[in-house]
Structure 1
Amino acid sequence: MMPGRLANKIAVVTGAGNGIGKGCAKMFAAEGANVIGLDLGGADTTCDLLDEDATRATFQHIGQKHGRIDILVNAAAFAVFNWIETMSYHEWKRTLSGELDIVFLATRAAWPFLKSSGKASVINFASANARHALDGSPAIAHCAGKGGVLAMTRQLAMEGAPHNIRANTIAPGFIQTEATRRHMEMDPGLEGAVLKKNMLKRLGDPEDIAWCATWLASDEARYVTGADFAIDAGATAW
């Protein structure tokens, strides 16, 4: 059997219990990585990634056990979708914490062990909503949070370069997950609005994102950092 594209790499995937995180964790494992999945439930390790002390302790344990972290996938996220007129300040702050702080805290905790790798890859998730608004979608806080992730990742690429840490974002379009299926059930017109914007007239699956993440995590992408990859059926190309 040929070794996988991620053979012998230590990969930490947050939000590994469902959706895109679960898709990435499964594909990474199939490609030979030693995957440590973090989530509030349904993963290898339960961790509240918005608890600063718990996050630090979790990554300290992982780093000491394995000696390094080669891949960090920050897929964990939470957002409240609401219009500006009806969104409370609490919901706004909760969304920014759930989409921006959650990436910062995990990456900061992992940083010493990413430096120990010598050729690490950080993969964050922006969104099509970091670049454009979707007509009819009450996503003001989500747009702000994902725009912040996009900008933060460029800075991480600069700070990581001297340590050979690469940092990139994937900007998914509409991906079918448990969360997005609930949104479609609540808003029967949402799927049609998404498909109208997509050049490819289908919805995405977590596997579509995981293929890109696998490449970014591998040595094949050793010259790629500070970049953003739109995996969105062409939605942001017109």
Structure 2
Amino acid sequence: MLITGASSGIGAATARVGAQHGASLVLMARRVRRLEDLAAELREKGADVACAGGDVTSSADVERAVRLAVDRYGRLDAAFNNAGTTIEPALLHETDDADYDTVLDVNLRGVWLCMKHEITAMLANGVGGAVVNNSSIAGVRATSAGAPYVAAKHAVLGLTKAAAAQYADRGVRVNALATGLTRSEMSEGIFARDPAAEDRMRRRNPQGRVADPEEVARVAVWLCSEQASFVTGATMAVDGGAGAW
């Protein structure tokens, strides 16, 4: 299982849950030291883990991570495209062009490149595979995260549906997560800048809380497993009911 953005948050939690279920892992992120620390933790518990430092906006880096999975394990069966970024929210007309480029590059181009190389490997292995893309509730509605982020996350769902339709008859399943507010370095940064933000966000959620990363990770791992063998092209809400309001 290849996991991007694996050095913290949902990505790291997915690595831990995947390892608990016996998955062999390739972890990809820019923060190599953190990847190595996580890999060491998982190896102590008996997991087979490889690290591929790199940037999802680089086709060469993504291709290298996929090749590592194939060379080490014989094929790539599953991938969780989780890497993402955000910017300081602003009104659309006040958003810098550079901020737009950054958000679209990581959150959309990154998913595109990952899918391109992952699906190529899955088609070559003769048995298909499963891809899960991490979108957001911002992929199904406008949020306070800002227009570029909302646009990118909507586009991830479009890529997911298009790929699911194109490759379903070749054994490749492609699904997406529409995640709600989840405890992570990104959310903690938001709360540090705006101490009242967490309370506001809790009040907008029917469960009245922030998700633990493992709660999202369990759904990602399930979608990658044979337990979800008839699920493709789906957007799975993991948002505590926020989408119901």
For normalisation by structure 2, the TM-score amounts to 0.88
SS of the residue 1:162 aligns to: helix
Per-residue deviation at 1:197?
1.3
- SS of equivalent to 1:169: strand
Does the Cα contact within 8 Å between 2:86 and 2:145 map onto a contact in 1?
A: no
Q: Provide the C-alpha distance between the structure 1 equivalents of 2:86 and 2:145, rounded to a whole number of angstroms.
A: 11
1:66-85 map, 5 Å: 66-83=73-90, 84-85=92-93
Question: Is the contact made by 1:126 and 1:149 (CA closer than 8 Å) also made in structure 2?
Answer: yes
Q: Residue 225 of structure 1 aligns to which amino acid in structure 2?
A: T
SS of 1:236's partner is helix
Aligned residues: 226
Long gaps (5+) in structure 2: 36-50
- Pick closer, same or farther for the CA change 1:195–1:14 going to 2, 3 Å: same
Contact 1:78 1:95 in 2 (8 A): yes
Match of 1:168 among 171, 175, 182: 175
Query: Given that residues 81 and 141 in structure 1 are in contact (C-alpha distance below 8 angstroms), is that contact kept between their aligned partners in structure 2?
Result: no
**CA RMSD, 1 decimal:** 1.3
- In the aligned structure 2, how far is the partner of 1:55 from the partner of 1:79? 21
One-letter amino acid of the structure 2 residue matched with residue 121 of structure 1: A
| Higher fraction of helix | 2
Aligned residue identity for 2:242: A
Partner deviation per Cα, 1:115-161 (whole Å, 9 max, x = no partner):
21614110001111112223xx2421110110000111001101221
Equivalent in the alignment of 2:106: 98
Structure 1 match to 2:4: 14
The alpha carbon displacement at 1:47 in A equals 1.0
Q: Which amino acid aligns with 1:177?
A: S
Aligned position for 1:8: none
Give, as a single letter, the amino acid of the residue that structure 1 aligns with 2:30: L
1:155 aligns with 2:162: yes
Using a 3 Å threshold, how does the CA distance of structure 1 residues 213 and 117 change in structure 2: closer, same or farther?
farther
Q: Do residues 132 (structure 1) and 141 (structure 2) align?
A: yes
For residue 199 of structure 1, what is the amino acid of its counterpart? P
* CA 1:117–1:33: 2 relative to 1, 3 Å: farther
In the other structure, the counterpart of 2:40 is none
1:234 matched to which residue of 2? 241
Unpaired runs of at least 5, structure 1: 1-10
The question of whether the paired residues in 1 share the 8 Å contact of 2:66 and 2:76 is answered with no
Give the secondary structure class of the aligned counterpart of 1:122. strand
